[in-house]
Structure 1
């Protein structure tokens, strides 16, 4: 694995920041200074240190992505680009998969990992992990709409959703936040349709206690921090 990738994975900063550490001569493998940020190391066999501190390599990968629209939340697809296709090769080889899904035209927060137990803990219906979406509707919401969301809405197939929260953020822009604790097919759009509203734009901004990093441009991703992983595990 490239040294800059290893350090980014283990919480030593962004790619730019870890490259700076290498240039400063702060990184060593078995006591020998690493001079290139593209140097290959084996964390299972070599002792990697940063300023004398031993780097603890983690078996699993945990990524936060700002998913772009038009991309499928899957590991592979014959017809469309997937979220895995966006990843760098060194991340792809670790075989991460999306935790849950976002519709093709929906953007925003998506977690990818190769840790099945971790993923199950987030997606299990028993956990009721909340998800917050930012949406632009074609009409301003009413107090009655909010009440219906809070009580649970019967969808077009007869399924009654769990109680959800509909919050008006900007009435002029018809911007709302919608919080749900389940993930039925096109659920947010179908709930809005049930109260006579259509979704013009949809973005997931939060899962449990984890908020989408505002520094991530659409299509960008980064490693989850240790505290974020712990937060999701405890959600």
Structure 2
């Protein structure tokens, strides 16, 4: 049953990892003849099987085992980038049960009122690489800023901005996309690429030049861009090509 030369795992570990049931529930399902491997009812939930070779079924449904999950979420405002929170809805609350069983977590964070690209995964090494200060993974934002963002600001951002706590940011690429006059004053539309992820960094950078961010959206992380057809509050799995972009 194990598949010679292949890695085997306990059947109950595979099924519990995939959210089929707890260990005790799986024992009961086995006794009831509801778990099959290669078409035969198993008698021991702890039997060793090879998920790449053996066909595993629970209640007639084939179970496709995998360890990792990689999700692209278009985070909406009003939701916190955390696995749990006593007051606010979290990004995990947006996931379906079959995806939550993998225990994914957000890679980094977006402020509660910020929307846009957020990666959720249970791949710790990948998350570490993306967040490591030594990697300087670029993050691209689009924003609406109250104030007249001009070429002087572009140059200041390119040289690095000193934040309110004295921290000097790495050079950032600021692009002015447009301006409009409103009752509040001039509102500038901009694109910004930063290479670190300090607390409220984009907002604090503009605050340092006397302006205020009134809308913020992350549109890319590394080489991965937020899918244009992904509705706000929706998510999907990353394609193999998108995952490779993150790993570059």
TM-score (norm 1): 0.77
1:90 to 1:47, Cα distance in 2 relative to 1, 3 A: closer
Q: CA deviation at 1:30?
A: 6.1
Please give the secondary structure, in 1, of the residue aligned with 2:177. strand
- Structure 2 residue runs without a partner (length 5+): 1-13, 19-36, 40-49, 58-62, 181-186
User: Whose radius of gyration is greater, 1 or 2?
Assistant: 2
* 2:148 maps to 1:140: yes
- In the other structure, the counterpart of 2:3 is none
- In the other structure, the counterpart of 2:128 is 120
Counterparts of residues 43-62 of structure 1 (less than 5 Å): 45-46=54-55, 58-62=66-70
Please give the secondary structure, in 2, of the residue aligned with 1:63. strand
- In the other structure, the counterpart of 1:230 is 244
Q: Provide the rounded CA distance (Å) in 1 between the counterparts of 2:66 and 2:155.
A: 45
Counterparts of residues 1-235 of structure 1 (less than 5 Å): 45-46=54-55, 58-172=66-180, 174-234=188-248
Please give the secondary structure, in 1, of the residue aligned with 2:125. helix
Q: CA deviation at 1:43?
A: 5.3
Deviations 1:83-107 (A, max 9, x none): 0011001111110000000000000
Q: How many residue pairs get matched?
A: 192
Q: Provide the rounded CA distance (Å) in 2 between the counterparts of 1:212 and 1:43.
A: 32
Please give the secondary structure, in 1, of the residue aligned with 2:117. strand
Q: Provide the rounded CA distance (Å) in 2 between the counterparts of 1:59 and 1:95.
A: 10
Q: Provide the rounded CA distance (Å) in 2 between the counterparts of 1:171 and 1:56.
A: 51
